[in-house]
Amino acid sequence: MKNIVSLKWLLARMYESDIVIVDCRFQLGKPESGREAYKESHIPGAVYLDLEKDLSSAITEHGGRHPLPDIAELTGTLSRAGIGNASRVIAYDDQGGAMASRLWWLLKYLGHEQVFVLDEGFTAWQKAGFPVSADQKVLIPSPFFATVQHNMLVEVDEVQEKLGKAGVTLIDSREAARYRGEVEPIDRVAGHIPGAINRFWAEGRGADGQWKSAEEQAARFEGLAKDGETIVYCGSGVTACPNVLALQEAGFTNVRLYAGSWSDWISFPENQIAVGDEVALKGE
């Protein structure tokens, strides 16, 4: 099943009754900028969901910088946004698909299959001359019932247990310099989880801003076992989601998200930290 839809695909279907378009634009460090951009201009009929207010819960001692939202609260948010179990949800952003992929993953986690990420994002939609609007949709709630897919998620204790285990691949989705521990602009400790390999999430898109094909995604993860267990993380569980999507596009069948990610890992003082490059690929 494809997870990415083109601008033209959405243009042809945007007014169909079961389509719900969700604007997920958000900039780290500028938490109001996404909502303000939405108020100014968005794809007609789109509703806005905020990464930190709607798609994350409050920060605590553990759980990372963007803890997963409470399931009951999230289903309520989705229902109020007009997302029901029969909805086809199209998520977009202007951050390379990172924020839209968070909603994509959350809906998949809740058992909702009909969710897609819009290729390229809002700026490309606008540049293509497709319609935009500042009108805010009147929201008609639609009941959403979750069937939680617990196997999609991994917690810190399971990551600890599986470090170095045969058949398990751990993928760090951050930029290479952060992975190697050379810089750390956000979290208080630099480095990566021991044994993790690095596949920067943004490399899932080409120079033109479009998502790479399934074959190109497979080339990014060449040498890794498609039928093994793959655990993906980033800084806070957000930019790992486009890598989860890319891995699924590439044919990997057992991909799990460590939602707390690096910011959760370093909240436990007993957890080991590695720096530099890992010499061997795990999971082969």
Q: Catalytic residues, which ones?
A: 234
Give the tokens for residue 241: 């989601």
Q: What are phi and psi of 53, to 5 degrees?
A: -90, -30
| Long-range contacts of 54-57, Cβ-Cβ distance < 8 Å, separation of 24 or more | 55/24, 55/99, 55/102, 55/103, 55/106
71 CA to centre of own chain: 17
Q: Is the dihedral of CA 214, 216, 217, 222 positive or negative?
A: positive
According to DSSP, the residues that pair with 88 across neighbouring strands are: 19
- Nearest alpha-carbon partner for 102 in 198, 23, 24, 209: 24
How many Å apart are CA 92 and CA 135, to the nearest integer? Answer: 17
Strand order through the sheet with 19-23: 4-5, 115-118, 88-92, 19-23, 47-48
